[in-house]
Amino acid sequence: MGENVLSREELAALLDDGGKGRRERKVVDVDLTRPSRLGPDQLKLLTRLHEGLALRLAAVLSPLLRAKLQVELVSLTEQSFSSLRGSLPQASACHLLGLAPLPVLPMLPALTIGSPTRLVLAQPALESVVALTPPRPIDPGWAIGSYSSLAQGARSEGAARDHDLRLQTADPAASAGSVDITTDTDRATDILHFPRGAVAGVCLHAVFEHIDFTQPATWPAAITGALAAHPPPWSLGADSTRGPAMLHRMLAQVLHTPLPGGTVLGQVPPGRRLVELEFNLPVPRLGAAALAQALHQHGYASPTLTFGMLQGYLRGFIDLVFEQDGRFYVLDWKSNHLGDSPADYAAPSLARAMDRQGYHLQYLLYSVALHRHLAQRLPAYDPERHLGGVLYLFVRGVRPHWPGRGVYFHRPSVATLNHLSALLDDTARA
């Protein structure tokens, strides 16, 4: 064994723990500057030393840092240690030095091994500091959009569930001078007085989502669960039964009100319903200007679209799809408080709410999703025969003794749906 190679005895001395079972390691001064290269067997021994020192150092420093010390071990290969200077009096110094590869060591020529060292970095002159050329704009890549992100700029993943995210109070034009002419005898449990806002809207949606329309016995459990999961900001006093009573009464009213075409939801069994139907439509390239132009072309009011460009997928959840007499309908529950009288939920007031909230874009996107879904699942699908239209139920005003109130119905043309579908596919003609 030549002089340029550490002897087994020297390396063994570094690894010697002073006897089996003892916790303190024996520290031996060994000059690592003398050898120019280490043999393979000695590298293995030195690697063992390095790993042991790393664990010991972590045990010492972790309590001080109040965090788990992540130790990065340097991979040892056959390399020259001739640039190391001085001796190695402490085991911790060996690890702190890291036995780094040679290209790193010349950066620390004055480092004194085994003693605390303060590194002072030279400060460049201000006149020598020059800003780098900014990189080219980075392509944002594909993203997942939703109705909310298109119409309202919402960016979160949960925005795909459009549960009345921008609820407003009563329509001033509809409520001016209106009086409450309800024929209900118990106003305390009228849904008109249920709390307002986004949380209350999610609570109402949860109730409709988890009940069996045809089995009123299932309603109390769904109501209790919805109130527990989405507690609205109550201002109903100390009576804890008032909220559940409001929701139960609302269900009885909404589900027994005849809808356009004669449908009564309380008679629609679970086998003819799809609740919270999720869709993910591929969108190679969709621009805000092109979408706004398409809406205007087909006569729909459009919200101000500022999303720029969407490339990726359009994701959403349709509150309810149901089948009646061979036709499939999109239904969306709306908890907007438009006022306290029947006039506040008449057609003119609903039209203003639909325009103001941008709901036309919402139901058109949902209709395109259903159009594609049925084309893939329904044999001999014919949109003219199988698409029934969209129903937006403003549930605070839907009740049998207010006929025609709170119900917005529209059936988009097949030409409109085909145009929007092609626009999403980036195949629409200008």
Tell me which residues are annotated as active site: 332
- Helices 347-357 and 359-377 meet at what angle, rounded to 10? 90
- 313-327 as b/e: b if 16+ CB within 10 A: bbbbbbbbbbebeee
* Tokens matching residue 297: 């072309």
Q: Indicate the burial class of 414 (C-beta count within 10 angstroms; 0-12, 13-18, 19 or more).
A: middle
Q: Chain centroid to CA 360: how far?
A: 24
Residue 92's contacts (CB-CB under 8 Å, 6 or more residues apart) are 53, 56, 57, 60
**DSSP strand E in 191-272: where?**
none
Report helix, strand or coil for 213: coil
Residue 335 CB coordination number (10 Å) = 25
Residue 357 CB coordination number (10 Å) = 22
Residue 87: which of 108, 103, 111 has the closest Cα? 111
Q: Measure the CA–CA gap between 305 and 324, rounded to whole angstroms.
A: 35
Q: Measure the CA–CA gap between 254 and 394, rounded to whole angstroms.
A: 10
Report helix, strand or coil for 312: strand
